[in-house]
């Protein structure tokens, strides 16, 4: 199964831009800014630094890494290296969640940020064969000023790869309804709504994301498993969840992987994709998340291939990308079956 997953063509829909920085890149940036950051400059020490006591601690650590990204060249290098790592895992398409406000408030103009990620996106597609798209998300802990600025950058700069508008950061103490006008404006300008909800709070946060923010996909959404009416609604409407199993354990949203509600969600007929969230920070990869999902759901290779197809169908990828990637997954699954003992015609 591990070998099958390693070679499986995939899409990833919930992976954070800065949160995907490889330890090598984080350490290099920390060394460059030594004396002004708590982030270790030794990659070997980052595993301990990335051990989180709760979600609040995770946010603190995450922002300390964000603080290392101080100019447009840092952004470009980070983005390209994230694409390179994803392509090594046979990811053909990814929607990276970017938080331009976090860089803007540290002095980087929105124009420079967008130019850097677009340059990296074009290079990655040309040189690595991976198609990248962006979700610009509001850091909820920064309140309405961050929503205003995120929307301004999104609609003012209009980077070619931008497809969606999101809301991240802590859920506790950050009510979703207050962001409704910003999501309405984003959707009116052609962006999809993909807020985080129901990761560290209960089902009501998900209902708010649906009813107030017109969510088309939900980031995490695992607390839906606590509400039969919500499960039924998600299954009926086909609104998918972006599930990140290891992340939920590492941020203490779930006590241990055996208690993860993934199977409950699937059994209720909820559409979902498997994702890595902030992979180096959580000591995971997308390939590993597929292994975790295969174990939790007791899937065979064909079941895992169907998970990969689901992510493609739920994505905001151009039609040509979806068609090509679905065909590639189908061919790979057939060839894998033929190679097994007793396989073939």
CA nearest to 162, candidates 188, 134, 199: 134
- Helix (H), strand (E), coil (C) string for 312-323: HHHCCCCHHHHH
Tokens of 239: 């609104």
Phi then psi for residue 136, to 5 deg, are -90, 120
CA nearest to 273, candidates 132, 59, 95, 55: 95
CA nearest to 293, candidates 283, 282, 305: 305
Residue 120 CA to residue 123 CA, distance in Å, equals: 5
Contact criterion met (CB below 8 Å) for 121 and 161: yes
Contact criterion met (CB below 8 Å) for 7 and 335: no
Helix 203-213 with 228-237: angle, nearest 10 deg: 40
Contacts of 333 by beta carbon, 8 Å cutoff, 6+ apart: 301, 302, 305
Residue with tokens 């899409």: 11
3-state helix, strand, coil in the chain (%, to 5): 55, 15, 30
Report the sign of the C-alpha dihedral through residues 246, 247, 250, 253, in that order: negative
Residue 3 CA to residue 252 CA, distance in Å, equals: 29
Phi then psi for residue 196, to 5 deg, are -70, 145
- Specify whether 242 is catalytic: no
Pairing outcome for strands 241-243 and 218-220: parallel
Catalytic residue among 157, 199, 291, 301: 199
Contacts of 29 by beta carbon, 8 Å cutoff, 6+ apart: 21, 39, 68, 69, 74
Catalytically active residues are 199
């Amino acid at each position: 199964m591990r070998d099958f997953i390693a070679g499986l063509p995939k899409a990833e829909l919930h992976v954070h831009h800065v949160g995907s920085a490889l330890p090598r890149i984080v350490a290099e940036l920390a060394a460059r800014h030594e004396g002004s950051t708590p982030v270790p400059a030794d990659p070997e020490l980052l595993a301990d630094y990335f051990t989180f006591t709760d979600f609040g601690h995770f946010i603190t650590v995450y922002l300390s890494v964000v603080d290392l990204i101080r100019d447009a060249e840092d952004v470009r290098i980070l983005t390209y290296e994230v694409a390179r790592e994803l392509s090594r895992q046979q990811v053909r398409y990814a929607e990276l969640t970017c938080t331009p406000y976090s860089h803007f408030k540290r002095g980087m103009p929105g124009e420079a940020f967008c130019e850097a990620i677009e340059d990296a996106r074009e290079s990655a597609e040309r040189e690595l064969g991976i198609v990248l798209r962006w979700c610009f998300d509001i850091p909820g802990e920064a309140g309405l000023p961050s929503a205003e600025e995120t929307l301004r950058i999104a609609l003012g700069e209009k980077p070619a790869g931008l497809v969606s508008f999101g809301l991240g950061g802590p859920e506790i103490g950050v009510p979703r309804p207050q962001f409704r006008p910003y999501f309405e404006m984003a959707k009116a300008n052609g962006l999809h709504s993909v807020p985080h909800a129901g990761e560290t709070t209960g089902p009501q946060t998900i209902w708010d994301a649906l009813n107030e923010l017109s969510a088309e996909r939900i980031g995490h959404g695992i607390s839906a498993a606590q509400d039969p009416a919500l499960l039924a609604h998600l299954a009926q409407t086909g609104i998918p969840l972006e599930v990140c199993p290891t992340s939920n354990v590492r941020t203490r949203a779930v006590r241990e992987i055996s208690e993860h509600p993934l199977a409950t969600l699937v059994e209720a007929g909820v559409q979902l994709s498997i994702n890595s969230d902030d992979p180096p920070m959580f000591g995971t990869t997308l390939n590993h998340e597929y292994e975790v999902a295969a174990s939790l759901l007791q899937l065979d290779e064909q079941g895992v291939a169907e998970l990969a197809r689901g992510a493609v169908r739920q994505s905001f990828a151009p039609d040509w990308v979806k068609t090509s990637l679905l065909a590639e997954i189908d061919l790979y699954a057939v060839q894998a079956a033929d190679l097994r003992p007793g396989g073939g015609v």
